Amino acid sequence: MFETLSAVRVATGPQPPGPHERWLAEVRPALAHLDLRPLTLLQPRRGYTPDFLSPPPRDAPEAFDAELARIAATPHEQVRREIDRSLADTPGAARSATGTLLRGDPAEVLDLLTGLVAAAWRSLVAPYWPRLRALLEADIAYRAGRLAEGGLDLLFAELHPSVRFHDDVLVRAHGDDDHRDLAGAGLVLLPSAFKWDQVVVVLDPPWQPTLVYPARGVGTLREAGTGGDLGRLIGRTRALLLTDLAEPAATSWLAHRHRFAPATVSEHLAVLRRTGLVTGERHGYEVRYRRTPLGDALVAGDGLSAGTGRPPPRRTAASRT
């Protein structure tokens, strides 16, 4: 369920596609027949998304229909409370046409949202689920091995660049000013393929405390596309990194995403930068890289050879946020 909601974010704009550009191109025809605005409005880029839409898993993974039934059984007062909280995080959302719809009768709104989640699953996620699930299960197995090998320190040291564990305290950099003493309740670690760029923390009762983080190797979901002419021209690893830099990313993020050593990523980025295919800009203590127009043209080489004769239009900063 969480992957379905995150796929909606990627497909409709609040979250950039990152490593899912090819997937987005494939599902775009299906999007033309779906009105996902209610789900999009309830998922602000920074802010609260109703927990009832993707409740943290309780035990072993459930089938999609069972998860959908949990949503449909949400108490109506909870539906109203969480929707109001979410809309408050987006200026003007409550007064928009979609916001007015979402503040209607909770029973009708719940039916609407349940149907939209089901439609999003069928069109955006279900056709890709076997490969996505294999990726997520592989990540869980890897994390379990790291926990057994080095305990919590090793587990959280490799979980995500923005997360650190020190003196029995888990800290998320750039997170909200929230604090929760687990008091023995435990913490669910939930890997995600579509939430590829950040971690999400669920702390509100009655939900089990949960940390959602990007699964290892999300970039490998499209590695098949780096084995053709581009891979033969500049090398498979550089082709993979170049393809992944439509959006700015730091060395540590790329290393985490593709399971490379940071030194390996730095070496390849240096080559791509010297040849004019990527550029870097400093943000605080890190440098974030992205493709140049020349890099865009190289990645879009199949489109150029088909007769477009020019690289794709450059996206503006506004179109990426």
Q: Say whether pLDDT at 246 is over 50.
A: yes
Q: Are 204 and 292 within one domain?
A: no
Q: Are 28 and 109 within one domain?
A: yes
Contacts of 84 (CB under 8 A, 6+ apart): 94, 103
Residues across the chain: 321
How far is 221 from 26, CA to CA, in rounded Å?
14
Q: Are 115 and 185 within one domain?
A: no
- Using one digit for the tens of pLDDT, what is the confidence trace for 144-183? 888 998 888 888 888 888 888 877 788 887 656 667 777 7
Domain final position from 214, 238, 272: 214
CA 100 to centroid of chain Cα atoms: 28
Q: Say whether pLDDT at 62 is over 60.
A: yes
The pLDDT, as a whole number, for residue 177 is 63
Q: Are 20 and 114 within one domain?
A: yes
Q: Are 251 and 314 within one domain?
A: yes
Domain final position from 214, 233, 250: 214
Name the band, by pLDDT with cuts 50, 70 and 90, for residue 81.
very high
Domain final position from 214, 231, 259: 214
The pLDDT, as a whole number, for residue 72 is 95
State the burial class of residue 290 (Cβ atoms within 10 Å of its Cβ: 0-12, 13-18, 19+): middle
Average pLDDT rounded to a whole number, residues 107-119: 96
Domain count for the chain: 3
Name the band, by pLDDT with cuts 50, 70 and 90, for residue 316.
very low
**C-beta atoms surrounding 37 within 10 Å:** 16
Average pLDDT rounded to a whole number, residues 178-196: 84
The pLDDT, as a whole number, for residue 14 is 64
Q: Say whether pLDDT at 314 is over 60.
A: no
Q: Are 295 and 316 within one domain?
A: yes
Average pLDDT rounded to a whole number, residues 53-58: 80
What is the domain range of residue 242?
218-320
Q: Say whether pLDDT at 75 is over 90.
A: yes
3-state secondary structure of 154: helix
Q: Are 121 and 135 within one domain?
A: no
Q: Are 29 and 8 within one domain?
A: yes
